[in-house]
Structure 1
């Protein structure tokens, strides 16, 4: 987490002195940052590359433009195209190649506008295409465009379809920039939903009660709350079908006409009567959308998951348009054959849904609902799921039972928003102290403590470790425990901060302290990512157009701002093991970190092509926390790894990903039988953990 507090300037390097939180030590530090760091990061992390690798999207836009231009030619009209949000200029060049007389392309992001000009020039279309570095809503007929356009092509859509301002963009374009009777590519968008029941999906939105002897209850306000109003976007297609039950068939809820023939409303509600095909609880609403790329609706781009896709065996992978999960605000149990009401609503940027039986009253028909309990704001979706995960709960219960002495143990819990303090109190701890530096988590945990009648046994310290005084913890701590999970963590090993916090409280700790977990081990696995490699791979040529200038722009900025390892929830991004897993770093949290020497490991990660003929295009990394006596909490695979087989990952954690740049399926560049050299350096004194991966390439 970076806080851009300007403290001074390094004139020679033109960098700004900013404060940042060291994710491993948890301490605030000062650092020099290039003045253009955020700007470069925005370029490096743009989704243009993913869209350019979406060959179906590109092809269908090309086909839609071809139909539009042919229709205007048959009508005896000159063809004037407006491309809103041109990006690399790809759609503009398609229009020019198809015979448009003029093309005006607007792009508000200046680096991309300059890049588009270079790409257009290199492809020989400067005489036909004019790039305007403005938002479309800033364009004027006369100064920017000589006349209104009669064809509009644009890609201003996101996972929610309208979340990037499509309604206002199309409305303004029709009012100010387009001729009456113009053709729009795409012409229409349709939103589909499907009702499902799923224990796994429900955990992402609800913290369930503890069953069994612990008997821990979730505050009623959290149970009644419908959750955060924002969508839960994910690669829904990767959710195994045995993890959910379809309560209904997919059905349409909204259609958006982009042609201007009917107004695009910014506030709309639809009510659908839907028959249930099985019984169950309505836990979630799955959502996706389609685009009709031509006026007759014969060219369709579908974002549906495979079970609802028109061509399930020929689907395009994409990361820029995913599917989404919404959580209804009413809790409903339905029976097979029963007909219920589904209420769907959108404003200018967002969608939301609710379900009801019988007469409809208020709820989703009024203003957009919000989280009233605070938990859905304090916790991420994955964190909610982690807190409700039965396997984790069972493991933590066994760990605490083993170490807590009823009526004797004083426990300190260090984790953000953890239920471990409640569990420890229920298991008989004399007193439990909780460090909660996040005020949102403090509020939620206070409600958990109150509803479970534990206010006399659990004390929440709502401040950072630096502000804790000896008087705050009058008893010597016998057990320090953590999951450990922190709001500031980005990668699994950032949880090393658990031990830094614990050791900073040395005066409060008893001589026979038990610290749980005891060690952290980072593992690395060479893998073949099925699709994820595309987010960092060069584009080169797309639909016959040279886009290499874009590759150069991304690469030059990525080199200066990208981390070697980035976080990704790998259950959404399939990969196969290319070789055996190897431990690359172990940190012993029972030893003082401030006196621990620099740790440096060089590990050879093997890829066995002779036996398995398995390619490799990246590395997957995760952390395992060892609590002793074979109690391990892992952020990695949930099943044994088999070389050449798909890796099954934890649904509630993000893993570390390293991708080999410029690796493509067609390059023929596969790792040799020797190794990938993995170098890992950990400097405990400064809380710095660095990775370097050196592959040996071969064209054989």
Structure 2
């Protein structure tokens, strides 16, 4: 399809209501003159962060200028806003408005499958006078056909289809199809090659994120989420790498090896679907291998002069590998679209001695890289027997896994459950969310309780899990009632039926790891819908939620999300509203709430006292609520925005509170960046007023502030 467009297309986007979990398909029309791209679809993506990455943009520009030196056919796969396509067109002279005939044979084809981004790219091309210079095709690259979608095979491939692990966005199958069907023999490519590296590390927090077995062995509460011999029943997903800003853990990490090279991936030739290699790594310290931290180095040109790396800050690169330096200092290198990756060993007790040789088997599929350990002393590798199949395994996020092994959190929840059960002679308990911990705890602690787990996300898998671990936790499945919410409402509305007298939640919804804090109020919505089947004296855990707010210094996050102007000479100001930028926005525009682990957001500092701006009372059905509060500054500095989270009040009498604020690594907070940073002063009379409104019809929070 050319940029002028021939026929109207439509795309179906899945939209989920955060308070009900129900999904519906929303139609997005291609006709951009009549409709605009919905902001919500793109505001939480990584496009803005990527376009603010000056190191990335500069490296691509230099590499494209070096590769595109004469008229040719350039194919850009995953074109996004069209930045790389415009760079190629400019390098070929296609931006010459006088129509230089020497460039008549040059052409650029931009391939982008995501319709909202296609619509945005058209606007960018038009604003830069490039809409007639670049052919835009709204298809997946593996759907392109030479002769219809593109005129001929391309001489040069430009692509940026990399994730933090490198392979997760389909790099290998994309390159395979391109070399087979879309490129000339021996094409030029930008990038030219990518190399992955790894390093053995010891880190208590990284251990906590995957080692629930040993952590439970140290606890005396009797709850066993992973009973002996069932290591595979629950935990982080096996053979998967997890993206993380590892620089935030720098002071807690003990390096156990030098960096080691793992795989090369050449873009200029057809890659293999899978490979494996044996690595022999000499350890540099005594310790326990809790994880492998990995990253990649991108060589963008064939000469080996232009590089980009996702390495952590503690790495010293060889003298013959240098990046193009940006004008900003090294602290500006923080970005969120590419992080490091963390791989957790299946062996939980891999102890090593300094100067020992560790044998590491590395292998990759089309989408991921994994490892297996072997040591010279095989007895040192402790393998846990896995009595479960993948059908029963529940894969938690590393953060949830860490929380489930946290003794303070477990004690807080168990104390509240025990206290509630003592107040109920014949407990009928509803677990309103996906908390397997609470379902097990109630069934174990009360021999007379009946437990109804809704498990809206886990479904049958959650019930299969309970079957597996019930005996190890001293309860029988005859006390677990398996009934859907719909059937529960229809059967219990009879006045003679028992009413639910204990409703609990963590709250936790399986697969909802990227939620804003108040989207976990879904259990409040469930409580409201089931009000007719709750007893008059029902106990609800947690009983309240307090929406907390503080002002913060967030320079790295701000730079990654700020408004765009020119990006390597191309005007991108038109994308700011759609991509949810902050800074220099029109008065009518607000930057969106973004879910982040604030502790991983580069340099940060809390500037104000923490204030409560909203209270959610779960003893009553869900309703709108509003609040207003001043927050006083306790530090001087530049305020980039506000951070919000919910403190869960577990039970009313003693008011024990579970805080999910910036100091809690296992929960994401909501970040609201300002239109412009504001310098604030410490002092008794230095404050700002915050006003918030919660709308139960859509689950959204509206925040206003006045300095």
Q: What TM-score results when the alignment is normalised by the length of structure 1?
A: 0.78
The aligned counterpart of 1:588 is: 617
Q: Is the 8 A contact 2:550 2:643 kept in 1?
A: yes
- SS state at 2:158 partner: strand
1:259 correspondence with 2:253: no
Give the match's secondary structure for 1:419. helix
Instruction: Please say if 1:90 is aligned against 2:88.
Output: no
Aligned-residue offset at 1:268: 0.8
How far apart are residue 190 of structure 1 and its match? 0.6
Shift in Å, 1:390: 1.9
Question: Where in structure 2 are the equivalents of 1:108-507 lying within 5 Å?
Answer: 108-109=112-113, 110-125=115-130, 129-139=134-144, 148-208=153-213, 209=216, 211-217=218-224, 218-220=226-228, 222-224=230-232, 227-229=236-238, 231-260=240-269, 263-308=270-315, 310=317, 313=330, 316-336=333-353, 337-357=355-375, 372=390, 374-377=392-395, 379-405=396-422, 410=427, 412=429, 414=431, 415-424=433-442, 427=445, 430-431=448-449, 433-437=451-455, 438-455=459-476, 458-464=479-485, 467=488, 469=491, 480-487=503-510, 490-498=515-523, 501=526
Q: CA, structure 1 residues 47+497, in 2 after alignment: closer, same or farther (shift >3 Å)? A: closer
Conserved? CA contact 1:219–1:447, under 8 Å: no
Cα distance in structure 1, aligned partners of 2:429 and 2:617:
19
Question: In the alignment, which residue of structure 2 is the partner of 1:578?
Answer: 607
In the other structure, the counterpart of 2:99 is: none
Matched, 1:565 2:593: yes
Instruction: Please give the alpha-carbon distance, in whole angstroms, between the structure 1 residues aligned to 2:207 and 2:118.
Output: 43
* Gap change, CA 1:487 and 1:553, over 3 Å in 2: closer
* Equivalence for 2:626: 600
Instruction: Compute the displacement of 1:330 (Å).
Output: 4.3
| Distance verdict in 2 for CA 1:464–1:298, change over 3 Å | same
Contact residue 82 and residue 110 of structure 2 kept, 8 A: no
- Please give the secondary structure, in 2, of the residue aligned with 1:615: strand
CA displacement at 1:395 relative to structure 2 = 2.0
1:693 and 1:386, CA in 2 relative to 1: closer, same or farther beyond 3 A? same
Once the two structures are TM-superposed, the CA of residue 536 in structure 1 deviates from its matched residue by: 4.6
Using the TM superposition, give the Cα deviation of residue 266 of structure 1 relative to its aligned residue in structure 2, in angstroms. 0.8
Query: Taking structure 1 as reference, are residues 160 and 106 closer, same or farther at Cα in structure 2, changes over 3 Å only?
Result: same
Q: Which moved more, 1:122-131 or 1:442-451?
A: 122-131
| Larger deviation, residues 234-243 vs 156-165 | 234-243
Instruction: Specify every segment of 5 or more residues in structure 1 that has no aligned partner in the other structure, as ranges.
Output: 1-13, 361-369, 638-647
- Contact 1:521/1:583 (CA < 8 Å) preserved in 2? yes
Query: Aligned partners of 1:127 and 1:456: how far apart in 2?
Result: 67
Find the aligned partners of 1:651 and 1:521 in 2 and give their Cα distance. 19
CA–CA separation in structure 2 for the residues paired with 1:586 and 1:282: 44
Q: 1:186, CA displacement in angstroms? A: 1.2
User: 1:524 aligned to 2:537?
Assistant: no
Q: Unpaired segments of 5 or more residues in structure 2?
A: 1-9, 30-34, 94-102, 318-322, 324-328, 379-387
Q: What is the distance in 2 between the residues matched to 1:695 and 1:314?
A: 29
3-state DSSP of counterpart to 1:616: strand
Contact 2:232/2:389 (<8 A) preserved: no
For 1:165 and 1:27, how far apart are their aligned partners in 2? Answer: 29
Alpha-carbon shift at residue 292 of structure 1 (Å): 0.5
Distance 2:36 2:210 in 1: 32
Change in Cα spacing, 1:669 to 1:175, as seen in structure 2 (3 Å) is same
1:632 maps to 2:656: yes
Deviations 1:619-673 (A, max 9, x none): 4333332424555343423xxxxxxxxxx4312212223233xx4xxx6666896
Are 1:409 and 1:429, in contact at CA under 8 Å, matched by a contact in 2?
Answer: no
Q: Alpha carbons of 1:244 and 1:460: their partners in 2 closer, same or farther (altered >3 Å)?
A: farther
CA contact (8 A) 1:108 1:133 kept: yes
Alpha-carbon displacement from aligned partner over 1:360-394 (angstroms, at most 9, x marks no partner): 9xxxxxxxxx97263433x3333222211222012
TM-superposition CA deviations, 1:160-191 (whole Å, max 9, x none): 21222222333343444444444322110011
Mapped to 2, the partners of 1:339 and 1:17 lie a distance apart of: 51
Quote the Cα distance in structure 2 between the aligned partners of 1:618 and 1:571: 14
Distance 1:342 1:696 in 2: 56
- State the distance in 2 between where 1:176 and 1:636 align: 51
Partner of 2:47: 48
TM-fit CA distance, 1:229: 4.1
SS of residue paired to 1:485? coil
Q: Distance in 2 between matches of 1:81 and 1:435?
A: 56
* Cα distance in 1 between the residues matched to 2:228 and 2:290: 18
Task: Count how many residue pairs are aligned between Structure 1 and Structure 2.
Answer: 640
Q: Deviations over 1:321-375 (max 9, x none)?
A: 2222223344452321332321221122222222123699xxxxxxxxx972634
Structure 2 Cα separation of the partners of residues 561 and 346 of structure 1? 45
Residue by residue over 1:392-433, the C-alpha shift from the partner in whole angstroms, topping out at 9 and shown as x without a partner, is 012223334555549967362524233234445555654352
DSSP-derived class of the 1:98 partner: helix
**Residue 111 of structure 2 is aligned with which of 104, 107, 113?**
107
Shift of 1:435: 2.0
Identify which range, 687-696 or 55-64, moves more after superposition: 687-696
2 CA distance for matches of 1:50 and 1:572? 15
- Which of the residues 669, 676, 696 maps onto 1:655? 669
TM-align CA RMSD: 4.3
User: Which is further off, 674-683 or 268-277?
Assistant: 674-683
Cα distance in structure 2, aligned partners of 1:234 and 1:545: 30
Secondary structure of the residue that 2:373 maps to in structure 1? strand
Q: Which residue of 1 aligns with 2:97?
A: none
CA shift, 1:258, in A, is 1.3
Please say if 1:692 is aligned against 2:702.
yes
